[in-house]
Amino acid sequence: MIPSSFPPKDEIARLTAGMLLEIGAVHFRPDEPYTLASGLPSPTYIDCRKLISHPRIRSTLMDFLTLTVHREAGFEAFDNIAGGETAGIPFAALVAERMALPMSYVRKKPKGYGRNARIEGEMREGDRVLLVEDLTTDGGSKLSFVDAIRETGATCAHTAVIFSYGIFPETNDTLGQHGVQLHALCTWWDVLDVARAREAFDATTIDAVEAFLKDPRDWQAARATA
């Protein structure tokens, strides 16, 4: 069923941040930074995969994601919903169900046997594809999925995520130069605001995380070389 109500964007961001905190998906650890996939340190980590185990929150956020895409891209903008391996697959299926559209998924690399395919499911030439993922940091990881979709003859001009870091200014430029628009429910700034209001972490931790968010590259560079 396609949701038909439209909460304001800032309300969606606040509610999403609160739900991520509620299920323990948000982790702050400035004294012992996490290592991101890029190899760089970070005092923050978010685990959106936990959402699949929380059906009420999962359902609400998939409604929010569907509404956001409809509002920002249009109600008849897509023919196929594709999930990125692996985190994006369940969310793509849930969004596709709401939009009443076919669903497919994109492998990170060809599987190495059989058809050696990167696209699983049916994707047709000319299909307008929405790429669904759990999150994005600087946007770079989405480009390989987008290219694989386009190699089928389909188009991909939009990607939707539950969470965008929202602290790297190059994110929209990276995607935009590749002809892709990003749609996201919330960012680290939204999570930080709700975490502070709820006193979800002590003040010292909140302040340390805020320092990172204000200048993430310098924060990472200082600790990567320490």
Residues 137-173 pLDDT 10s = 888 889 999 999 999 999 999 999 999 999 988 888 8
**Predicted model pTM:** 0.93
| 216 contacts 167 by C-beta, under 8 angstroms | yes
pLDDT tens digits, 47-100: 999 999 999 999 999 999 999 999 999 999 999 999 999 999 999 999 999 999
The domains located in the chain, with CATH, are 9-24+50-187 (3.40.50.2020)
What does the DSSP 8-state code read for residue 163?
E
Residue 117: partners with Cβ closer than 8 Å, 6 or more residues away:
107, 110, 111
